[in-house]
Amino acid sequence: MSSTSVEQKKPGQTALQRRSKNDIVVDIADLAVSGDVDKTLVTYSLGSCIGVALWDPVAKVAGMLHYMLPESSISAEKAKANPAMFCDTGIPKLFRAAYELGASKTRIVVKIAGGSQLLDAQGTFNIGKRNYLALRKIFWKNGVMVETEHVGGSLSRTLRLEVGTGRTSIRFRGTEEVL
């Protein structure tokens, strides 16, 4: 790996203290794209939220979205101010931003994580499941295939995507898996 990563944990360090200067942090209700092969996109605290990681292996362009809610119709004002908050406005914005850096829809590899049920043990609101279903609907309508996913359950996850290699990993409960 070209940057300091989560695997290089020192005793007592938090995730934020392990973060590398090459990390581009994607906050909750945020997105980022990069063509800098030395950078790594990372998002933390994927509970019911969904993290979408996309990578074009030819253009070496990566993008990541961390959205909170499935549909912008619940608040047009919030969607206008921050499209990354919602699946139906954040995903199109993520893809357009990647295309602007040279990515091509035909080459993009998509991986997703999140969609847990953490704070809603009874399943009353099912935000994680609703977030996942909204994503699948948008991708199905647009002919986008998901290569790998790590969704559901009751986990909080960290998602990382290396721009130069496309290596995508998730970290949860002290374990890291490559997607």
Catalytically annotated residues: 49
Amino acid sitting at position 128: G
- Cα 159 to its chain centre, rounded Å, is 6
- How is residue 174 annotated by DSSP? T
Amino acid sitting at position 142: N
- The C-alpha angle 139, 140, 143, rounded to 5 degrees, equals 80
Question: Strands 61-67 and 40-46: what pairing?
Answer: unpaired
